[in-house]
Amino acid sequence: MGRLSGYVRAGVTHPEEAPLLREAVSLLFDGGTEAEATRWLTSQGMLTPRGNAFRREVLHRLLANPRLAGLDENGQPLEGWDERVLEPEVFHRLQKLYEERSEKRGKSREAYDYLLTGGCALCDECGPPMIGSRVHAEAPPSYKCDDCGTRINADRLEDFVAEHVLAELLKPEARERLEKLECDIEAEISRLKKHIEDAAERDASIGELYGRGLMVKAAFLAAQKASKEDLRLSKLRLKQLEQMTDLPIGDVHDLVAWWRTAPHASKKGLVLLEIEHVRVGRARGSQAPEKRVLIDWRQPTS
């Protein structure tokens, strides 16, 4: 088992890491979030034992580990652990805080269908897809970058995007362009379906190479892992693309009225058909979407 953050070895605390972790826990008790605690640890130069920057999920797993308080999985003191990063009562208080926050989120949050998740909305600061999130249990829905913390209110972003999509669709050449885009999408759907169907054959080829001794085990395992990830992403992409076809807007004359009453899936399909990505920057003196949001429009290939 590798070294646990906060300890030099079992039962001996790290002189630099342990105080930082205690301070991070204090931040949580003061109402801070795990993301804020993670950013604070990073600002202090603290890394994981493997030399990586902390992520929120990594910090959560660490703070939920009873060994941080010198306890075993049953909550009993570990023999020979003379030093602890957290005292047991502090550790138990922290776990209770996690439970309370989880219960509060479960009771207070209403379901919300995000229009731009799934890779459409990207953080323009550091690149990754933005996720649906809330600042706290009773806060309105928002889009958030889990890496750098960039956030924007969901209604503000989605209304801005909808206005621009509808404005594009009202242009004289819009219907012809949509037809070309749908042809591109259908071609990609066909390609992806074939790619997914051939996954078993590709895996069998990898296995055959390994069985014949033409591939070392490490390369075989890496190829298997890459193949599984490729299949997962291909299925996700196919699901997204299928939302963009057969949209009931061909004979719609009042697009604005249609948008107000259209099912969420149809709205999302139309947005994904029109837009490649929506890139959201950090608020710098203004929360206005026109100051923060860039739209990458999808272009027909022919």
Residue with tokens 């037809």: 179
pLDDT in tens, 215-266: 999 999 999 999 999 998 888 878 877 766 656 555 556 677 778 777 787 7
This model's pTM is above 0.95: no
209: pLDDT confidence band, cut at 50, 70 and 90?
very high
pLDDT in tens, 266-279: 788 888 888 999 99
302: pLDDT confidence band, cut at 50, 70 and 90?
low
Going from the C-alpha of 94 to that of each of 20, 55, 98, 99, 216, the distances in angstroms are 16, 18, 6, 9, 46
Contact 245/185 with Cβ under 8 angstroms? yes
| C-alpha to C-alpha distance for 289 and 302, rounded to whole angstroms | 32
Q: Which residues does residue 47 pair with via DSSP β-bridges, in sequence order? A: 53
* In the predicted structure, residue 143 carries a pLDDT above the cut 60: yes
pLDDT in tens, 31-75: 888 889 999 999 999 998 888 888 888 898 899 899 999 998 888
H/E stretch holding 71 reads none
pLDDT at position 218 is 93
Q: 34 by DSSP, 3-state: which? A: helix
